[in-house]
Amino acid sequence: MSYILADAGYDVWLGNFRGNTYSRNHTSLNPDSDESFWHFSRDEMSDYDVPAMIDHIITQTDHRQVIILGYSQGGRIGLMTATNRMVAEKIELIVSIGSAGFLSLFSQQSPRAKILSQLWRLLEKIGIYEVLPRKLVLIYALSTFCKMGSPGQSICNNILASALSERIFIDDLYAMKGETIPVILANFFEGSSARMVSQGAQPAYIEFRKFDFGEAENRRRYGHVTPPAYNVSRIPCPVALYWAENDPTTKTKDVRRLEETVPGFQRSYRVNSVSFDHFDFIFSKKAKTLVYQDIIELLNQY
């Protein structure tokens, strides 16, 4: 998508959230030795990281506003950011791809999710703050082990099929080629915090609320036992949503809820394919015709 936008004449800036391979720097904290560097969730990303990115781009380009395109978590964090009206004034449009923000699919927390939602406490207690960091030795191993014609190719294919979709290798919808498998696996884990991992399983996250620290800490931080909700009805900038009916993370009722709640909701685009799902937005060879072209047409109106 970024290449298509650049070819269309857009000035494209790629943002990296704190904690991943490309964002492990800090003015005073060392991510390898200072545990407080890893005390962040999506809330810090929407409160600090995205606004800082926007300000940097505006300073460098002399543009008054930016357009935010976010896929999955990126789209959700874009919406979270825009609930701050001072920041939203600098946003011309938000395009959320594969994320309506609300997650009714997970309204009933599974036993596994309950454990995962509290995992950050255990990990931090035993001194683990960074989760799934990218390691050069792993990149080299995967690049060698998974390359076409190698004995490990079928194993790598099975790993990717389990993580994403087995249709990757049998459905014409996908552009997955043998030579891309090692590249994808080598970049699949880029690192983040324990709190980021747990937040995605918290009921508060499902309800579009801030990080849940537990009643006592919530009261200290938020003044209430329940984390405050992100008020998407305060988003003043236009919002466009691209979603697929077969995407389990974006249910129709979540889409409708976002449409009805955001005052400036502009476009709800359902992908014209019954089999198109969450990962197809980035891996399908038909994403360009089914999704990207419409996004370009929308952006050209701004």
Q: Are 153 and 180 in contact (CB under 8 A)?
A: no
Q: What is the pLDDT of residue 173?
A: 47
Domain ranges of the chain: 2-107+229-299
Report the C-alpha gap between 61 and 237 in whole angstroms. Answer: 20
Mean pLDDT check: name the lowest of 75-79, 126-130, 217-221, 276-280: 276-280
Q: Are 275 and 173 in contact (CB under 8 A)?
A: yes
Mean pLDDT of all residues in 111-138: 83
Q: Which superfamily does 2-107+229-299 belong to?
A: Alpha/Beta hydrolase fold, catalytic domain (3.40.50.1820)
Q: What is the pLDDT of residue 125?
A: 92
Q: From residue 22, how far is each of 15, 18, 218, 292 by CA, in Å?
A: 9, 8, 31, 26
Q: Look at residue 115 and tell me whether its pLDDT is greater than 80.
A: yes
pLDDT tens by residue, 224-270: 999 999 999 999 999 999 999 989 888 888 899 999 999 999 999 99
In three-state secondary structure terms, 220 is helix
Tokens for 165? 């979709």
Pairing of strands 192-193, 66-71: unpaired
Report the C-alpha gap between 253 and 255 in whole angstroms. Answer: 5
Q: Look at residue 36 and tell me whether its pLDDT is greater than 70.
A: yes
Q: Look at residue 293 and tell me whether its pLDDT is greater than 80.
A: yes
Q: Look at residue 1 and tell me whether its pLDDT is greater than 80.
A: yes
Report the C-alpha gap between 209 and 222 in whole angstroms. Answer: 11
Q: What is the pLDDT of residue 170?
A: 47
Tokens for 169? 């290798």
In three-state secondary structure terms, 181 is helix
Q: Which of 58, 57, 94 is closest to 79 using CA atoms? A: 94
Mean pLDDT check: name the lowest of 75-84, 99-108, 138-147: 138-147
Stated pTM of the model: 0.87
Between 208 and 166, the higher pLDDT residue: 208
Q: How far is CA 51 from the centre of its chain?
A: 16
Strand partners, 97: 71, 242
Q: What is the pLDDT of residue 62?
A: 94
Q: Which residues of 153-163 are buried (b: 16+ CB within 10 A; e: fewer)?
A: beebbebbeee
pLDDT tens by residue, 135-187: 665 666 666 777 767 777 677 766 666 656 555 544 544 555 556 666 776 67
Between 99 and 170, the higher pLDDT residue: 99
Q: Which residues of 66-86 are buried (b: 16+ CB within 10 A; e: fewer)?
A: bbbbbbbbbbbbbbbbbbbee
In three-state secondary structure terms, 97 is strand
